[in-house]
Chains A and B, each alone.
Chain A
Amino acid sequence: MTDLLYSEEEEALRAAVRDLLTDHCASAHVIARVESDTPHDLALWKSLAEGMGLAGLLVPEEQGGQGASAREVAVILEELGRAVAPVPYLTSAVVATEALLACGDEELLGQLASGRTIGALAVGLHAAPGAPFRAVRLDDGLLHGELTGIADAAVADVLLVPADDGGLYAVTADAATVTAQTALDLTRPLATVRLDGAPGRRVGDAEPAVRRALGAAAGLLASEQLGVADWALTETVRYLKERKQFNRPVGGFQALKHRLAQLWLEVVNLRAAARAAADALASGEDADVAVALAQAYAAPVAVHATEEALQLHGGIGMTWEHPIHLYLKRAKADSIAYGTAGAHREALAELVDLQAP
């Protein structure tokens, strides 16, 4: 039976991560950082990955990891979403790690699990699990080509690059030209990766590795989206209790209360869907349906929550100074990341036999 609750250990993990983020990831710092030369917060990453040892949760202990599961990772992603933390956790500790688990590359797995090496899968962030993805050309053992929309590539030490021979290649960052793109989501930077005769080491077959990595990413992204939506709801409720117009707190007006109550219901539903996906990824039972279900539901909720947060904050919500825009941008980008809700609904149509005309 699917366990949809949080265990005591998971709640303790959440509390530890939240404490760290409260101390080191205040929204004013994030806003200042995103326009600097170093939008990623590598000090925070070091605390999470090395200090707390959270980069290797998905890696078995005998391969240098913690041997935990997607359930614990989901809790961390909820908290990282709640703080829109600019760290490469999803991309390195989930996506790149899952790709390497599929390939069984112990050496790199151990390095990623230690948190001292950051990995990035060189597949565009928009790619859905099971959808076609771009590959670079392999010529005389060297890689040639350009890939775009690679999340967190700017801080990756190693890139996992699909090539046209069907292999997945590990390329060290200094062998590639990584150029930042101007991304909608300021807290998950994108970059192009250009390879001009770069050497790479084949770690396994690309197709199964990418499929597994993107499936796990899509399922666990729902927990990040839950964190984003929960922040938006909590912060908006708090603000509307304080903000007074017409000699009353505006949160007392029924038109606004009903909108917030609807949003609460969506967030409650998203929590169940995200927990179901995390639990299914951990157990392997019915995971394809649980992941597609969570992603078909999560993106519209996170986008709706952040859009409502902006509207209900009024003019202040429109300012660069207020953090709402960081969450709106994350939510909107997440609605494309690892497949849109529509793509996941199409996947469900196959999985549960509700075929198109």
Chain B
Amino acid sequence: MKKVVSLLLASAMALSLAACGGSGSSGSSAPAGGADASSGTTTEAAAPAADASSSEAVSISIWQPTDKEAVENWWVEKINAWNSEHPDIQVSREAIDRSDSYAYDNKVATAVTSNDLPDILFVDGPQVSYYAANGIIVPITDYFPDTSDFAESTVAQCTYDGQLYAISATESSVAFYYNKDMLKECGVDTDDLDSRTLENPITWSEMAEIAEKCTTDSYVGTHIVMDHGEGLPYALEPMYISEGKDYISEDGTTAEGFVNSDEAVKTTAFIANFIAKGQANVDPITDEFLNKACATMIGGSWEVATLEANADFDWGVTYYPVADDTKKAVSPCGDWSAAVTRDCDNVEAAGQFLQWLMGTENVASYAAAIAKPATRATAYDDPAMADYKDGPRALLVEQLQNTAVPRPRTPSYATFSTDYAEAMTNILAEAASNGTVDEAYIKEELDGVSTKFTEDYTTYYQ
């Protein structure tokens, strides 16, 4: 009997170890091409350096969250190509497991304290101003004097205090996805949705009507909770702007009268109403739309690839809904961008590498590998981007190029994001438990977000 027990214990332990290994190995195997180079450079580079004697090879390190295999392979290939062409600048990349949206940030925070930042750091769009304001990353305007080929939204997101601090190859967007089979079943005219244009997007009331009609015993009408972190401020911001007030003032200094304005309360109430009426789940399962647990969703541009590969139903996508009062079309944007850190000894070399990395051809192949819209307009002429000529992807690019608005550019964004996500989680949970929306409570929560923002901003940045 003891043997059985020990066998059980051993297998259980092995399983739990394997589970850990799964995430760990993706982190460590990924940089194989890159990290090899970093340990290899010192020895390999020694030979040419001996000949040249005057200059040793510069090594440039990159940190980026681990990505899917296609992206990891892309990096190995590109870094090998660069390193063989540039013996004087040797690049290595470390893929860091993100686990959730904050594990990577925590590693960066630790490296800041110990001055161990890599030369090039990938930063999520809205964090650029936070890092820039704190001097973690340095301006790279000199290396990208002409950004006209890049989408306005990404340039705006990466600019702080008039200087370009980061540069991105890809963008993201959010749109309204619908399950045509379900909508038809519930008597919604899907041809009408298919025929919408950027000038004539669906309105909030149309979205609410669809959600109401399509809430049945087996699925809910819509999906609005992307996650309980950054996904909330990211996916929902256009609603606020469309209604008239953004989260934060244009100059990034105050939230008072913005996130807690009457317009913001109204917008939040509109969102919470879906939950209160049971038309959207407060804690949706992963891939709720794909799993046919909701009829429509406010979903990210990356869902197109997932749905194309896996959906066994007919689906469509249309532009982000607009407020009835203003009809102002707005959409989210922002993606991970490359920045040069203050610990970089050779900014010149890092800048040179970034120029090459963000060239049209690389942007096109990277965007294709990661299945996200490219930031460069000319990248769409590349055969790698052929998928973006028409269909859902073309719609997302059109929306991105015309209505995208970056998230607030403020050094207190990390605090804002945390507090807003927390307030929304509370508001939506209350709506779910009570079955009604309490505007006074919404105001109270949003006031709290504003107060905490002011406190953070005045403590550190004034």
Do A and B interact with each other, yes or no?
Answer: no
- Residues of chain B having any CB pair with chain A under 8 Å: none
